[in-house]
Amino acid sequence: VSGLGNRDLWVIGVGLHPYQKPSDTPYPQLGVTAVREALADAGLDWSQVQTAYTGTATTSMALSRLMYRHLGATGIPMLQVENASASGSTAFRQACIDVAAGIHDVAIAVGVDKPLNLTSPQRAAGLDDLVGNRVLPVTHFALLASRYMHATGASAEQIAAVAVKNSRNAALNPYAQRPKARSLEEVLAPPKISGMFTRLQCCPIGEGAAAAIVVSESALDSLGLNRDRAVRVRSSVLRSETYYGTANFDAALTAETTAMALEQAGVTASEVDVVELHDAFTVEELLYVEAMGLCEPGQAASALAAGEFDIGGRVAVNTSGGLLSMGHPIGPTGVGQIAELTTQLRAEAGPRQHPDARVGLAHMVGLGAVCAVHVLSRD
Amino acid sequence: LLNAYQANEETIVRTAAHPRLYDPLMHDPVLNGVECAQCGHVYFPPVGIGCEICGAPADQLQPKALTAAGVVHAVAEVHLSPAKTATPFTVAEIVLDDGPLIRAMVHPDVTDGLKIGDRVSARWSVIGHEDEGADVVEPAFVRDPEVRR
């Protein structure tokens, strides 16, 4: 009932290139660094990888082969998967579908990006509204934040506290773009960007790479892989926006996608131990934990203040630092979430380990809007 | 291309910042919406090609003039703009009386801010001038006067 058929699927290796400000590092260097780390983690050689899906949205068309050739040109199928901020999540899903369908037994999902070509579907479609090009995406979420405060009574300080927690987690993550723990005073410091949002309540768009290797049950045995470090893919769901009236579409889409992913995984929201979710702007984390059913509607701010979403709390949210502090290089982000959950579920996260993490959930929304949710677990 | 009409014996000349979305010659702003003849859903900005709700083709999407009045749903003061527009300025989401949830500018004359739940309607806001002398206008929203009960 995983939505992926009856074959058991395992994440056997993960790797990252640190997320960072845009630099002169070529994207093949970013990507190959993550792939080599994932191969070493899995105990696999590149020649054993049978297919590759590359999540990418901002770098260039056709970027896969100029990257993978540096690992040895083996002739395997490779292609790019673009789904806005959910590109990496969708590439991981395609790798899962490929192995689940029995086409291959070893697939790699890689996210890689540099912010070289930022495009807009609204512009391409010739769409215009009364505000037009005068606002950035941050204003969409600033409007949403005003609505959330009106509906729940949450204060700007309570919402900003999301960035305090996630920066604290990122300070323990060697791959984070913003590796510094921040106080509430620092998070609230000017300049204001839009609405209630200050700079540190908006995620940085940078560069980086992430990789995750998915294998079949039979490959675990035939390739002699370490079953103790294998993490099970319990479900994979990808949905797109329908019409929700005046309700917030990102939250409504998150609610329905998460409900499907939990049902297909055979777990309830209360059984989830670790969550990586799309916190591009602080208010999103509060909206989405409510939409996912991790707390009661309107109660996220007080639950956060009570430490329920901390490492060691009731359910740890964004142990990596999230998009806000680990960073959001677009293509890598969704794969990086799988890397963080895998590390947590293996109990290998060191100082940022959430105790006894058994079930993890990864969530991304992407412009469009689309939403991808994966549930992973250790057996 | 200038548009002009006579009012109070003087010629008022206006052009639209967004020509597809409204007629700048109307005395008060009216929005160019679309209504689906098949399912009744009302759109602003107007859509063509097909209906998002029911999939009806373009010939079912018929022009509908929308009164530029409604209730504030969300509001944000913008401090960083990718355009040349001077900051800060304020944008709002408004649920129009005709149905659609739209995004629009708050009129610069509103100095005390709009609040969620305020009843608002649009007035012309001049955002530039053409070389020929015409005002470039757009609808921007102001709070309705309190009605004494």
Look at strands B3-7 and A274-276 and give their pairing.
unpaired
Whether the CB of B21 is below 8 Å from some CB of chain A: the reply is yes
Query: Which residues of chain B neighbour A144 with C-beta distances below 8 Å?
Result: 74
- Across the interface, whether the CB atoms of B83 and A134 are under 8 A apart is answered yes
Q: Which two tokens stand for residue A28?
A: 């093949």
pLDDT of A265 > 60? The answer is yes
Instruction: For residues B110 and B117, give the distance between their C-alpha atoms in angstroms, rounded to a whole number.
Output: 16
Whether the CB of B86 is below 8 Å from some CB of chain A: the reply is no
pLDDT for the residue A356: 97
Nearest C-alpha in A relative to B137: A130
Q: For chain A, what percentages of helix, strand and coil (3-state, to nearest 5) are there?
A: 40, 20, 40
Confidence band for A69, pLDDT divided at 50, 70 and 90: very high
Span A108-130, pLDDT tens digits: 999 999 999 999 998 899 898 99
Instruction: Provide ipTM, 2 decimals.
Output: 0.94
Instruction: For residues A16 and A25, give the distance between their C-alpha atoms in angstroms, rounded to a whole number.
Output: 15
Q: Which two tokens stand for residue A59?
A: 């770098």
Instruction: For residues A280 and A326, give the distance between their C-alpha atoms in angstroms, rounded to a whole number.
Output: 11
Query: Which residues of chain A neighbour B83 with C-beta distances below 8 Å?
Result: 132-134
- Across the interface, whether the CB atoms of A130 and B104 are under 8 A apart is answered yes
Phi first, then psi: give them for residue A227, nearest 5 degrees: -60, -30
Degrees to nearest 5, angle at CA A162 with A156 and A168: 135
Instruction: For residues A80 and A56, give the distance between their C-alpha atoms in angstroms, rounded to a whole number.
Output: 7
The answer to whether B122 touches B69, Cβ cutoff 8 Å, is yes
3-state SS, residue A374: strand
Q: Which of A143, A150, A194 sits opposite B80 (nearest CB)?
A: A194
Q: Which long-range contacts (CB under 8 A, 24 or more apart) does A1-4 make?
A: A1/A263, A1/A264, A1/A266, A2/A100, A2/A233, A2/A234, A2/A235, A2/A236, A2/A264, A2/A265, A3/A235, A3/A236, A3/A237, A3/A260, A3/A261, A3/A264, A4/A96, A4/A97, A4/A100, A4/A233, A4/A235, A4/A236
3-state SS, residue A209: strand
Q: Looking at residues A252-280, what average pLDDT do you find?
A: 98
- Across the interface, whether the CB atoms of B76 and A132 are under 8 A apart is answered no
Query: Which residues of chain A neighbour B101 with C-beta distances below 8 Å?
Result: 245-246
Instruction: For residues A66 and A28, give the distance between their C-alpha atoms in angstroms, rounded to a whole number.
Output: 7
Within 10 angstroms of residue A77's Cβ, the number of other Cβ atoms is 13
- Which residues 220-249 of A are in CB contact (within 8 Å) with B? 243, 245-246
CA A26, A30, A35, A40 torsion-angle sign: positive
- Across the interface, whether the CB atoms of A193 and B105 are under 8 A apart is answered no
CA distance A171 to chain B (A): 28
Q: Looking at residues A364-374, what average pLDDT do you find?
A: 97
For residues A246 and A110, the model is more confident at: A110
Instruction: For residues A30 and A210, give the distance between their C-alpha atoms in angstroms, rounded to a whole number.
Output: 9
pLDDT of B2 > 50? The answer is no
Confidence band for A6, pLDDT divided at 50, 70 and 90: confident
CA distance B75 to chain A (A): 5
- Across the interface, whether the CB atoms of B103 and A150 are under 8 A apart is answered no
pLDDT of B149 > 80? The answer is no
pLDDT for the residue B147: 65
Q: Looking at residues A24-37, what average pLDDT do you find?
A: 98
- Across the interface, whether the CB atoms of A143 and B75 are under 8 A apart is answered yes
Instruction: For residues A245 and A364, give the distance between their C-alpha atoms in angstroms, rounded to a whole number.
Output: 22
Confidence band for B11, pLDDT divided at 50, 70 and 90: low
Query: Which residues of chain B neighbour A129 with C-beta distances below 8 Å?
Result: 18, 21, 45, 102-103
Q: Could you give the maximum distance between any two Cα atoms of chain B, in Å?
A: 48
Q: Which two tokens stand for residue A87?
A: 């590109």
- Across the interface, whether the CB atoms of A246 and B73 are under 8 A apart is answered yes
CA distance A130 to chain B (A): 5
CA distance B85 to chain A (A): 7
Whether the CB of A205 is below 8 Å from some CB of chain B: the reply is no
The answer to whether B142 touches B123, Cβ cutoff 8 Å, is yes
Q: Where is A365: in which H helix or E strand?
A: strand A359-366
- Which residues 108-137 of B are in CB contact (within 8 Å) with A? 116-117
Query: Which residues of chain B neighbour A194 with C-beta distances below 8 Å?
Result: 76-80
- Across the interface, whether the CB atoms of B91 and A127 are under 8 A apart is answered no
Burial group, residue A230, by CB count within 10 angstroms (0-12, 13-18, 19+):
buried
pLDDT of A106 > 50? The answer is yes
Query: Which residues of chain A neighbour B104 with C-beta distances below 8 Å?
Result: 130-131
Confidence band for A4, pLDDT divided at 50, 70 and 90: confident
Q: Which two tokens stand for residue B37?
A: 């003849």
User: Which residue, A229, A70, A251, is CA-closest to A148?
Assistant: A251
CA distance B47 to chain A (A): 9
Give the Å distances, CA to CA, from A161 to A204, A234, A293, A362, B115: 17, 31, 20, 21, 24
Say which DSSP state A83 is in.
B
Q: Looking at residues A331-345, what average pLDDT do you find?
A: 98
Q: Looking at residues A177-200, what average pLDDT do you find?
A: 97
Span A78-97, pLDDT tens digits: 999 999 999 999 999 999 99
pLDDT for the residue B10: 54
CA distance A201 to chain B (A): 14
Whether the CB of B95 is below 8 Å from some CB of chain A: the reply is yes
- Mean pLDDT taken over chain B: 91
pLDDT for the residue A2: 62
Most A CBs within 10 Å, among B78, B96, B116, B123, to test the A interface: B78
For residues B78 and A2, the model is more confident at: B78
Cis check: omega of the bond before A191, within 30 degrees of 0: yes
User: B102 Cβ partners below 8 Å, 6+ apart?
Assistant: A129, A130, B31, B44, B45, B70, B93, B94, B96
Nearest C-alpha in A relative to B77: A195
**Hey, which bits of A101-206 come out as E strands?**
106-113, 192-194, 197-198
Global confidence as pTM: 0.96
Percentage of chain B beyond pLDDT 70 is: 90
Percentage of chain A beyond pLDDT 70 is: 99
pLDDT for the residue A1: 44
The answer to whether A154 touches B127, Cβ cutoff 8 Å, is no
Q: Which of B76, B82, B116 sits opposite A133 (nearest CB)?
A: B82
User: What is the count of residue pairs from A and B with beta carbons less than 8 Å apart?
Assistant: 90
Q: Looking at residues A29-48, what average pLDDT do you find?
A: 98
Q: Which of B45, B76, B95 sits opposite A146 (nearest CB)?
A: B76
User: Per-residue b/e over B117-147, b at no fewer than 16 CB within 10 Å?
Assistant: ebebbbbbbeeeeeeeebbbbbbbbbbeeee
- Across the interface, whether the CB atoms of B93 and A143 are under 8 A apart is answered yes
CA distance A85 to chain B (A): 20
Q: Which of A127, A144, A150 sits opposite B116 (nearest CB)?
A: A150
